[in-house]
Amino acid sequence: MPQGVQTSKLLEWPFLLFLLVSILMVLFYHPIHELLGRGDIRIKWGEDKEIRLKDVSRNFDKEIDPIAADVDQLKKDLEEVRARIRCSFF
């Protein structure tokens, strides 16, 4: 193979993308690691509204627990209604 063909293959977009991502990872490793390691990521909207991701996960579990209990109770009630309907037809 001629030398020019091998060199042109190295400069195609997948290799260049890999090279770019690798360089960015090396350059920004420490800031990204510190940001994600702290776990103190804040999402802001509006002028005075913000929420921390830690708060979202804690509050989400607290809010979902009663809903999950209600769904379980509805499933039980539905099974009782289905059993009554089956009994009334026979």
Predicted confidence at residue 5, as pLDDT, reads 56
Contact 54, 43 (CB under 8 A): no
pLDDT band at 6 (very low <50, low <70, confident <90, very high): low
What pLDDT shows up at residue 39? 67
Inter-residue contact 41 to 55 (CB < 8 Å): no
Residue 69 CA to residue 55 CA, distance in Å, equals: 22
* Domain ranges across the chain: 3-89
Instruction: Give the predicted TM-score (pTM) of the model.
Output: 0.38
> Which amino acid, 36?
L
SS3 letters across 46-77: CCCEEEEHHHHHHHHHHHHHHHHHHHHHHHHH
Tokens of 51: 């929420």
